[in-house]
Structure 1
Amino acid sequence: MKRQLRQSGRWLYRRAENVLAAMLGLMFAAFILQIVFRYLLNLPIGWTNELSVILWIWLVLFGAAFVVREEEEIRFDLIYSAVGPGARRVMFLISATALIVLYGISFPAVWDYVTFMKVESTAYMKIRFDWLYSIYVIFVIAAIVRYLWLSWQAMFGKAPKEFDPTKAGSGV
């Protein structure tokens, strides 16, 4: 059961990476199309710029919610990497608790704002803003669930890993 769950998780992770790659490819194509129409054909079009902005918002928040792993997060680690496992555990739990509480407190306002924005839509593509901003609701829920899970692991499992700058990479 555990093995099958882990395999399903890996499969979903790869599909999330595929979605990110597709969004990035589409954003690049819209950018090139915008350049061609504006500078070669002298026919500026606005929907390509709008699409690029929408894809950028979704790319960042979707990626942060489902693809970026904890060890790939950007952090200030001068003190964190200099202390032992017990102190790292405490520092992580304080940070995770702060994030969970702040996201939890802000969630009702986020929900209200996103659902209220159904009255507006984008200028060119006429996408309702509630659909556009719904990715932020998904991001907040994913962040809360992630940090609850990581907090559980930090309390009852191994301490968070020490950062090793010699093994830092771009996530590949």
Structure 2
Amino acid sequence: MIENLAAIGSWLRARAENLLAAMLAVMFIVFIIQIVFRYLLNLPIGWTHEISVMMWLYLVLFGTAFVVRDSEEIRFDLFYAAASPRVRRGMVVLTATTVVVLFTISLPAVIDYIAFMKVQRTAYLKIRFDWLYAIYGVFAVAVIVRQLWLGINALRGVDPVSVDPLKSTSGV
């Protein structure tokens, strides 16, 4: 059962990475189109800017919610690596509790704001802003779930991944 869930999780993660790569490709292609139209053809177009901004927004929030691992998150590695496993677990619990409380408090206002934004649309493509900003609600829920998981594991005594400050990696 656990192996099946792990396999499904790995497959979903790979598809999320594929989606991020596609978003990056779209953003790059649209950026090149924008340069060609503006500087070579002297015909500035606005829809390319809108798509670039949308892709960047979704790249960052979707990527952080579903692709970036905890080991790839930004932290003060010098302090974290120098701490004992027990202190590291305490750091994780403190951080997770703070993030869960703050994101949970803000979640109703976030959802209200996203729902409110249905009255506005983007200038060129006429995409409703509630559809555009919905990714932040997904991101907020994903952050809450991830931090709850990390905090509970730390309370159960699972040692967070040790960090070697002398080892430089890409997070893989």
Q: Which amino acid is 1:103 matched to?
A: F
Q: What residue identity is the alignment partner of 1:137?
A: G
Aligned counterparts, 1:1-172, within 5 A = 1-172=1-172
Q: Deviations over 1:99-155 (max 9, x none)?
A: 000000000000000000000010011110000000000000000001111111111
The number of aligned residues is 172
| Distance in structure 1 (CA, Å) of the matches to 2:43 and 2:157 | 59
| Cα offset, 1:91, TM superposition | 1.0
TM-score between the two structures when normalised by the length of structure 2: 0.97
Which amino acid counterpart does residue 45 of structure 2 have in structure 1?
Answer: I
User: Percent same amino acid among aligned pairs?
Assistant: 61
1:125 aligned partner, one-letter code: L
Report the CA distance between 1:83 and its aligned residue. Answer: 1.1
Cα pair 2:78 2:165 within 8 Å, conserved = no
Query: What's the RMSD between the two structures over aligned residues?
Result: 1.0
* Runs of 4+ off more than 4 Å: none
The answer to whether the 8 A contact 2:81-2:165 is kept is: no
- Letter of the structure 1 residue corresponding to residue 104 of structure 2: G
Query: In 1, distance between residues paired with 2:104 and 2:117?
Result: 21
Q: Secondary structure at the residue paired with 1:29?
A: helix
Q: Which stretches in structure 2 are left out of the alignment for 5+ residues? A: none
User: Quick one: distance in 1 between partners of 2:67 and 2:116?
Assistant: 29
SS at match of 1:58: helix
